[in-house]
């Protein structure tokens, strides 16, 4: 799976918006939070990745709220 389908790396604004935070300890260990540049990219990622099997376990993907 590649992020290239969700982010236009030639667009500086999109490249700066993209973010991945992977939790490695504590209560949230094993979870990750991904920020995508727009709603269309987020919807595509959710559709393509929800229940995708990674290391024999299904990924659970859901929309979150943006912190403003």
Q: Which residue has the tokens 């939070």?
A: 33
Q: What is the mean pLDDT of each run of 10 residues along the chain (68 residues)?
A: 81 92 93 91 92 92 79
Predicted TM-score (pTM) of this structure: 0.76
Q: How many residues does the chain have?
A: 68
Per the DSSP assignment, residues forming a β-bridge with 33 are: 21
Q: Which CATH architecture has domain 11-58?
A: 2-Layer Sandwich (3.30)
**Cβ–Cβ under 8 Å, residues 46 and 39:** no
Output the pLDDT for position 68: 65
């Amino acid at each position: 799976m590649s992020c290239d389908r969700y982010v236009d790396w030639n667009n500086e604004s999109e490249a700066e918006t993209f973010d991945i935070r992977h939790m490695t300890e504590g209560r949230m260990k094993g979870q990750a939070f991904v920020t995508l540049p727009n709603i269309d990219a987020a919807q595509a990622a959710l559709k393509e990745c929800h229940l995708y099997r990674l290391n024999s376990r299904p990924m659970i993907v859901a929309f979150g709220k943006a912190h403003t």
